[in-house]
Structure 1
Amino acid sequence: MAFRSTKRGIAVGAATSLAMGALALIGTGVAGADSTSITWNDYYTTFTRTVSNATPAAGETITVTTTFKRTDSKVETITSVSDTHAPCLTYVPDSATMNGIHFDAVVVPDRDTNPRTGTATITDNTGAWVNKQNVPGPVFSVQYKVGTDCARGTALVTGLDYNGSLGAGYYGYQGPSVTAGKNATTTTIAPVAGAVVGKPIALTATVSGGAVGNPVKFYDDTTVIGQGTLDANGTATLTWTPATAGERPITVEFAGTTLANGSVGNATVSVASGGIGGGTGGTGSLGNLFGS
């Protein structure tokens, strides 16, 4: 995919030869177990961007931090900073800070660019955001909530644009990228009592992390006995007519989707004989196997 070119404005009178190849990417490194960072140079400023969790799940909150560091003797005053992000990342209100101080952000959720991005922008005209050699540079931070509509396993762009006294910098797709992981799921089977050979009884499974309409399969040992679909509560019900008395191993399988990992639930159901004088069957033992 072609991204727009990255360009840094320079002060009037600077040699035009500097305009070619001035942006030098230093590299990408892992800043922690789940975090990731990227550092690059453009003219005489070094930028470092860090995402607190590069592989978040839907519903989680991530923090994106950008540090500016001037490397020559010129003093730059930054007047506006825009953090760019995929539209499925929702800006957390009041999360934008510069040097630890909160600023009201102007948020554009979707600019209809290619690739699509939104922005969260803060501005300051007091001259307080100074980028100066040999002193700590400005640190800009925002937070986003990962939406359920984020594509899973796909790199989502992030970046930065800004304006200052020495020009403007456009790094809207610089990174680091964020890749939303699939939802973790758990499948459980509700206790079953009163199972008798030849008599219908309900089996109910619950899948946490699934979605309405997702299919689940029910098994008696290794034999498929039917399929259900999840409702708004994440449950699926199947009417089962046991054919064999004894301790029956019941399994429910949620195969997973493009948004969620699969998982399996297990239960042992006591089935009584259907003859005269037969028992009523017990609850049996229940268990579940968590999906990855």
Structure 2
Amino acid sequence: MTHTTIHRFGVAAGACAIAAAGALVSAGDASAASQLTYWEHGNSKFEMTVSDTTPQVGDTITIGINFQRKASDEYIYEIKTLVPSCLRYIEGSAGWGGSPSPADKVENQTRQPVGQQSFLKIYAPSKVAWVVQWNWTSGWGSKKSVSSQYYVTQDCATGVPGQTSMHYGGSLGDGTYQDKGPTITVAKPPVVDPTTTPGGGNPGGGNPDDGGTGSLDTGSLGGLFG
């Protein structure tokens, strides 16, 4: 049986992208803002998710890619996640189908020039290991996903949007979807009021525990010395 290789690109006709933003409330950070973008191309549907698009330096975020098919199955051979260069991939966090990925190989290129994207590229252990199946009764099959975690380093400029992208290769050809994912904008650190000190502050001086004002009562001294 002869297979035809189809090269698919994000700018091709029929591809579209729609962004949906919402609040992701979690036990760790109730203010984290997640975002999802999705687009269709032929009989494929893709999603990219970022668990927190406005993280602070020192936070850990998760980036996910979802695949969905109709009309035929597709086998995924390799997946490339592109992120702002200031993010550092957390070793061992990449997973296919919600579990640590049995990837044959992982490539991680970081420390790119400011404004460029670093990438994480993982390879399937075999040609048939990672399959996205269609559903012959309902059309679209169930989603298959890959996710990875990143540490927000001090190299990240605050207040500047950074783009995410996804490329992949599979049994139906290559997909290059540049700048289709959500943007990540590292939040500026909170402003600290210099007049505020631990314990509520004590602008008047003196011992904050004695309830006084920190000044001597001249009237009481007069009683001592006549």
User: TM bucket by the smaller chain?
Assistant: 0.7 to 0.9
What SS class does the counterpart of residue 53 from structure 1 fall into?
coil
Answer yes or no: is 1:32 the counterpart of 2:24.
Answer: yes
In the aligned structure 1, how far is the partner of 2:16 from the partner of 2:51? 24
Q: Which runs of 5+ in 2 are unaligned?
A: 26-32, 136-140, 210-226
Per-residue CA shift, 1:149-194, capped at 9, x if unaligned? Answer: 211111111111100010011123212011100123545xxxxxxx
1:60: how far off?
0.2
Letter in 2 for 1:30: G
In the aligned structure 1, how far is the partner of 2:184 from the partner of 2:98? 23
Alignment of 1:1-292 (within 5 A): 12=4, 20-30=12-22, 32-33=24-25, 34-71=33-70, 73-103=71-101, 105-110=106-111, 115-124=115-124, 125-134=126-135, 135-184=141-190, 186=192, 252=194, 264-265=196-197, 266-270=201-205, 282-284=206-208
1:20: how far off?
4.8
Q: Give the superposed CA RMSD.
A: 2.5
In the aligned structure 2, how far is the partner of 1:46 from the partner of 1:137? 9
In the aligned structure 1, how far is the partner of 2:72 from the partner of 2:167? 20
CA contact (8 A) 1:31 1:37 kept: no
In the aligned structure 1, how far is the partner of 2:156 from the partner of 2:111? 14
Q: Which runs of 5+ in 1 are unaligned?
A: 1-10, 188-251, 254-263, 271-281, 286-292
Distance 1:13 1:148, change over 3 A: closer
In the aligned structure 2, how far is the partner of 1:83 from the partner of 1:131? 18
1:81: how far off?
0.3
Per-residue CA shift, 1:102-135, capped at 9, x if unaligned? Answer: 23531001455x9500111110124121112123
Between 1 and 2, higher relative CO (CA 8 Å, sep ≥ 6) is seen in 2
User: Which residue number in structure 1 is paired with residue 218 of structure 2?
Assistant: none
Larger Rg: 1
CA contact (8 A) 1:79 1:165 kept: yes
CA contact (8 A) 2:19 2:182 kept: no
1:143: how far off?
0.5
1:12: how far off?
3.0
In the aligned structure 2, how far is the partner of 1:75 from the partner of 1:118? 30
CA contact (8 A) 2:78 2:121 kept: yes
What SS class does the counterpart of residue 16 from structure 2 fall into?
strand
Calculate the TM-score normalised by the size of structure 2: 0.73
CA contact (8 A) 2:161 2:185 kept: yes
Distance 1:150 1:75, change over 3 A: same
Distance 1:27 1:185, change over 3 A: closer
CA contact (8 A) 1:158 1:174 kept: yes
User: Which residue number in structure 2 is paired with residue 239 of structure 1?
Assistant: none
Calculate the TM-score normalised by the size of structure 1: 0.57
Q: Which has the higher strand share?
A: 1
CA contact (8 A) 2:35 2:52 kept: yes
CA contact (8 A) 2:88 2:152 kept: yes
User: Which sits farther off after the overlay, 56-65 or 171-180?
Assistant: 171-180
Per-residue CA shift, 1:2-22, capped at 9, x if unaligned? Answer: xxxxxxxxx7387xxxx9512
Share of identical aligned residues, percent? 27
Letter in 2 for 1:80: E
Q: Which runs of 4+ in 1 moved over 4 A?
A: none
Letter in 1 for 2:117: T
